[in-house]
Amino acid sequence: MKVFAFAAVLGAAVLCAAQDKKAKAYDQDGVYWASSWEEATQEATARNVPIHFTVHKDN
């Protein structure tokens, strides 16, 4: 029982570490998604770059 609990805790720790690593790497290497439409339009104007707008999963 103790071994099982230890394994579960270890597994959770490994998963968290993997998520952190993925999040950190993505933060630098992934797509930069805008936090809002307003932020996006302001930034697109300031940078003079086009907007990539995508809609997914409508329920």
Partner 1 sequence: MESSTYPDKKFIEASRNWVNVVCHNEGGHEVDAVIAGKKVSVCSRYWNIPCSAHQACYKSARSKYEGISGVPCTVLASPDGKEIERLAGNRSGSELAKSMEKVFAGIPAEKIGAVEWRGAQKLVAEGDAAFEKGEWKKANEAYVKVSKLTKKALKEQSAEPLKKLEAKGNELLEEAKGKLESEKDAAKKLLKLIAEGFKPFGCAKTAADLLKEAGK
Contacting residues toward partner 1, per CB under 8 A: 16, 19-20, 22-24, 26-27, 29-37, 40-41, 43-59
The Cα–Cα gap between 20 and 7 comes to: 20
- Residue 1 vs 46, nearer CB to partner 1: 46
Q: How far is the CB of 18 from partner 1 (least distance, A)?
A: 10
Q: How far is the CB of 9 from partner 1 (least distance, A)?
A: 16
- Residue 1 vs 48, nearer CB to partner 1: 48
Contact 46, 56 (CB under 8 A): no
Distance, first Cα to last Cα, the chain: 42
Angle at 45 between CA 41 and CA 50, to 5 degrees: 75
